[in-house]
Amino acid sequence: MKDDYLTGATLTELSSALAAKKISSVELIKAYLNRIAAVNQTLNAFITVDPAQSLAQARAADARIARGELGPLTGIPIAHKDIFVARGWPSTCGSQMLANFVGPYDAHVIDRFNAAGAVNLGKTNMDEFAMGSTSESSWYGPVRNPWHTDHVAGGSSGGSAVAVAASLAPAATGSDTGGSVRQPAALTGTCGLKPTYGVVSRYGMVAYASSLDQGGPFACSAADLAVMMNVMAGFDARDSTSLDRPPEDYSRSLGAPVATATAKQPLAGLRIGIAREHFGPGLDADVEAAIRAALDALTALGARLVDISLPTSPMSVPAYYVIAPAEASSNLSRFDGVRYGYRAPEYTDLRDMYCKTRAQGFGPEVKRRILIGTYVLSHGYYDAYYLKAQKVRRLIADDFTQAFKACDVIASPAAPTVACRLGAMTADPVQMYLNDIYTVPANLAGLPAMSIPCGFGNRGLPVGLHVVGNYFSEAQMLGVAHQFQGVTDWHRKKPEEVA
Ligand code: GLN
């Protein structure tokens, strides 16, 4: 079987090829590793590949397959965002602070993939500590967009998005605190899902803003996202915010996402909320055109568009950029040069060691967040900023509760523009923060949300359709996306070969 076929295949196709013994897991992993070796220098999607460890897992998977123990992901390579701690693998979080840190245990998500017999293909590049919207703040250098290598990949899970977009991996994991799965998915033409808060365990996922962080999958189709969710989701007693719910099959609604579906109109009866706040100044015309065309395709499938309002949503970015840095400043206090990670080579006393370690080990964006977070939590400012932001957060969640009385899902752009040029926003952090306007509300409210490819904008760069659902409606959202992907082929488009 040719490498080309393998590197463009869906999870389901790969699994059938493995089941039919057309290919072994070892051959599959070698094909992907060859491809990574050929193009990673250009794209910088992976921080670590370790062929010896991946191939050992592949051999174990082949043995399982030979014994007839074949699950949907057995023997299949999955790339993991370097925010997930994995035993025996460098787990850097894109930071010099953790450059020398090798995982002593497995994150819950890694555990689940291992138990499913999946193969860890490598650890992907990301914004330092997941702080950013472009994947340029990594200590390992920026990730490049395979559609135009002088453009950004989106962030912070840019490496995972690019790995899937450029067929360096059939699927990948990411984390989403304010859009870090959905926004890079949109900017690279891949599918990405942020589950309901609490559905995927955060155990072993380096903490950025704990009340917002949620792991989620990247893949080439909604059906593949469902396969990934079936492995990633589930209760874990080691995460106090993990939800103890009965396991569910995320593929169950792919064929009929609404009860009133008909053969001709699979989305008949589905109400798609369109918020007036989402289509206004700041949204680029090329992005809006692609979104409108996607909405037409959805209505042709039977869905009905309903006007809704999310009046507090314009306040989501200011609220997020108080709450997320506040939690980050607390979470990142553990990087002190004592417990693990980087320690400044020269210092005079303990205090000097702390100061030099953190001054040298963290990059500028992380320091900015720690400063903002420490400030908004400090005595005298707490009520004015942090408490106020928490109140806005509640209003944002209430907006959604209100909106979901009138609609089943809410559709919007995932980002106001296509991917910008490398370096275009690094000098203006506020401009970068404003890019998160469509994605952060779902994190503040804890709702599930996804981005699926829906066309191309300026310079032939991908546009993503953002869909937010009510709590625990992932299966339905995936069904809606699956039906959309049955009548469109945006998700099948691949960038020209990058060399
Ligand atoms: N861009 C947002 C931030 O920098 C979101 C990042 C994320 O989801 N990890 O905080």
Residue 183 lies inside a defined structural domain of this protein: yes
Residue 72 lies inside a defined structural domain of this protein: yes
The pLDDT-based confidence of 499 (bands split at 50, 70, 90) is: low
Can you read off the two tokens belonging to residue 170?
A: 């059939």
Distance 132 CA to ligand 1 centre (A): 5
Residue 316 lies inside a defined structural domain of this protein: no
Whether the pLDDT of residue 4 is over 70: the answer is no
Please report which residue ranges of 9-50 form alpha helices under DSSP H.
Answer: 11-19, 25-43
Residue 263 has a pLDDT of 87
Q: Tell me: the pLDDT tens digits for 176-185?
A: 999 999 999 9
Report the percent of the chain where pLDDT is more than 70: 98
Residue 295 lies inside a defined structural domain of this protein: no
Residue range 108-128: mean pLDDT, rounded? 98
Ligand 1 neighbour 177 (Cβ under 6 A): yes
Q: Are the beta carbons of 257 and 267 closer than 8 angstroms?
A: yes
Could you identify the atom of ligand 1 that is nearest to the CA of residue 433? 1
Residue range 219-231: mean pLDDT, rounded? 98
Q: Tell me: the pLDDT tens digits for 36-66?
A: 999 999 999 999 999 999 999 999 999 999 9
Residue 5 has a pLDDT of 55
Residue 3 has a pLDDT of 61
Residue range 377-405: mean pLDDT, rounded? 96
Q: Tell me: the pLDDT tens digits for 162-177?
A: 999 999 999 999 999 9
Q: Are the beta carbons of 278 and 295 closer than 8 angstroms?
A: no
**In whole angstroms, what is the distance from residue 156 CA to residue 437 CA?**
15
Q: Tell me: the pLDDT tens digits for 280-338?
A: 999 999 999 999 999 999 999 999 999 999 999 999 999 999 999 999 999 999 999 99
Ligand 1 neighbour 10 (Cβ under 6 A): no
Whether the pLDDT of residue 139 is over 80: the answer is yes
Ligand 1 neighbour 134 (Cβ under 6 A): no
Instruction: Name the nearest CA neighbour of 174 among 145, 137, 208, 148.
Output: 208
Counting ligand 1 atoms within 8 A of each CB, the residue from 82, 126, 133, 451 with the most, and so the one to mutate, is 133
Counting ligand 1 atoms within 8 A of each CB, the residue from 156, 157, 430, 437 with the most, and so the one to mutate, is 156
Can you read off the two tokens belonging to residue 58?
A: 């592949």
Report the percent of the chain where pLDDT is more than 90: 95
**In whole angstroms, what is the distance from residue 49 CA to residue 86 CA?**
13
Whether the pLDDT of residue 9 is over 90: the answer is no
Whether the pLDDT of residue 453 is over 80: the answer is yes
Residue 185 lies inside a defined structural domain of this protein: yes
Q: Are the beta carbons of 97 and 335 closer than 8 angstroms?
A: yes
Ligand 1 neighbour 214 (Cβ under 6 A): no
Residues 6 or more apart in contact with residue 489 via CB below 8 angstroms: none
Whether the pLDDT of residue 109 is over 80: the answer is yes
For residue 391, indicate whether it is catalytic.
no
Q: Tell me: the pLDDT tens digits for 466-483?
A: 999 999 999 999 999 999
Residue 106 lies inside a defined structural domain of this protein: yes
Q: Of the given ranges (8-22, 118-132, 292-306), which has the lowest mean pLDDT? A: 8-22
What does the mean pLDDT of the chain come to? Answer: 96
Among 4-8, 451-455, 494-498, the range of highest mean pLDDT: 451-455
Residue whose entry in the numeric block shows the structure tokens 């070892």? 26
**Which of the following is catalytic: 95, 135, 160, 180?**
180
**In whole angstroms, what is the distance from residue 140 CA to residue 126 CA?**
9
Q: What 3-state class would DSSP assign to 392?
A: helix
Ligand 1 neighbour 130 (Cβ under 6 A): yes
Number of structural domains found in the chain: 1
Distance 155 CA to ligand 1 centre (A): 7
**Which of the following is catalytic: 15, 24, 25, 81?**
81
**Which of the following is catalytic: 156, 157, 160, 175?**
156
Residue 108 lies inside a defined structural domain of this protein: yes
For residue 180, indicate whether it is catalytic.
yes
The pLDDT-based confidence of 385 (bands split at 50, 70, 90) is: very high
Could you identify the atom of ligand 1 that is nearest to the CA of residue 177? 8
For residue 16, indicate whether it is catalytic.
no
Instruction: List the domain range (segments joined by +) for residue 226.
Output: 3-232
Residue 147 belongs to domain with CATH number: 3.90.1300.10
Tell me how crowded residue 70 is: count the other CB atoms within 10 A of its CB: 16
Ligand 1 neighbour 133 (Cβ under 6 A): yes
Whether the pLDDT of residue 1 is over 60: the answer is no
Distance 267 CA to ligand 1 centre (A): 32
Residue 213 lies inside a defined structural domain of this protein: yes
Residue 6 has a pLDDT of 65
Pairing outcome for strands 271-275 and 304-308: parallel
Residue 8 has a pLDDT of 72
Element (H, E) at 233: none
Residue 498 has a pLDDT of 77
Counting ligand 1 atoms within 8 A of each CB, the residue from 173, 175, 208, 450 with the most, and so the one to mutate, is 208
